[in-house]
């Protein structure tokens, strides 16, 4: 794999136009909302596109996202199970990288496992294909508004005089 500005732009375009991601984000949010007893806002295509733009506008982040996307798009292991660890690892790291730092990265990694459970098939026939879609959904859903608790000030903020 060679990462050049052109390669990063190619992965950016692929991620931006990946049609299954927004429905998967909304399905994941519905499952998590039900599990936690909260209403979570749906994500639109426009919101998703804007966040993809924001992620790739930071070249240091964009190159890492592009590399992880490229690896998952191509990753295949005969019989799949031996590749289970590596595709899960790459998927978690992609979700966390998209989400951007802690605590969001950890939330995205956890959300990746939820999205991955009901994501089969995906960006191709490779072993990493469904993990790629799950990672994109988990990372971007974590960045996007709609969770009530992210729209309030933290109760743990220390106010200094």
**pLDDT tens, 56-106?**
999 999 999 999 999 998 887 766 566 567 888 999 999 999 999 899 999
Instruction: Let me know if residue 161 belongs to a domain.
Output: no
Instruction: Let me know if residue 82 belongs to a domain.
Output: yes
Contact 16, 53 (CB under 8 A): yes
Instruction: Let me know if residue 155 belongs to a domain.
Output: no
Boundaries of domain holding 124: 5-147
Structure tokens at 35: 């599990």
Q: Please give the tally of structural domains in the chain.
A: 1
Instruction: Let me know if residue 110 belongs to a domain.
Output: yes
Question: Considering the entire predicted model, what is its pTM?
Answer: 0.90
Structure tokens at 84: 């289970």
């Amino acid at each position: 794999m060679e990462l050049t500005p052109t390669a990063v732009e190619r992965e950016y375009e692929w991620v931006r136009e990946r049609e299954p991601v927004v429905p998967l984000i909304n399905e994941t949010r519905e499952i998590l909302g039900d599990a936690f007893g909260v209403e979570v806002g749906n994500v639109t295509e426009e919101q998703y596109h804007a966040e993809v733009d924001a992620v790739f506008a930071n070249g240091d982040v964009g190159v890492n996202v592009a590399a992880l996307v490229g690896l998952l798009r191509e990753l295949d292991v005969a019989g799949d199970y031996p590749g289970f660890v590596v595709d899960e690892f790459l998927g978690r790291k992609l979700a966390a990288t998209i989400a951007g730092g802690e605590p969001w990265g950890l939330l995205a990694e956890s959300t990746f496992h939820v999205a991955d459970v009901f994501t089969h098939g995906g960006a191709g026939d490779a072993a990493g294909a469904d993990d790629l879609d799950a990672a994109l959904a988990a990372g971007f859903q974590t960045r996007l508004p709609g969770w009530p608790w992210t729209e309030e000030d933290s109760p743990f903020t220390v106010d200094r005089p």
